[in-house]
Amino acid sequence: MGLKRVREKITVPITGSVSPGIAETIYSLRKSPENVDVRIVTCDMRDNVVGKYLADAFYVVPQAQDSGFINAVLEICEKEDVDVILPQVTSDKRVECLCKVQGNIKIARGEGCSF
């Protein structure tokens, strides 16, 4: 039956572009069985990371614990018209920050990024 598509192309930012498994994650998104056209946006606190070279766009962001992290991710979501946020690093602090960002996106766009 498959998934009902809302849009022909979805945009997925992935945090932690230096994480082990980032290449496999990006490969899996691009080769989905539903043939969904995915635009991959990666971000990390470092500039020279593998995810940068495998993505359609890349951003340097502060560490998740930094007070500027939430605003940086929010700006990426706004600029890139994000559909889903995929946290590659699952540390409690980063996921907690992304939950805060989700609330801000709902206010800013009238909807939310989901993850």
In this predicted model, what pLDDT tens digit does every residue of 26-66 receive, in sequence order? 999 998 877 788 999 999 999 999 999 999 999 999 987 78
The strands making up 37-44's β-sheet, listed across from edge to edge, are: 57-60, 37-44, 9-15, 86-87
For Cα atoms 15, 36, 4, give the angle at the middle one, nearest 5 degrees. 110
**pLDDT tens-digit readout, 64-85:** 778 788 888 888 988 998 888 8
Q: What are phi and psi of 9, to 5 degrees?
A: -130, 135
Would you say how long the chain is, in residues? 115
pTM for the whole thing?
A: 0.76
> Residue 24 and residue 86: Cα distance in Å, rounded?
13
Q: What is the pLDDT of residue 109?
A: 46
Give the residue-averaged pLDDT of 91-114: 55
What domains can be seen in the chain, in order of their start residue?
9-108 (3.40.50.20)
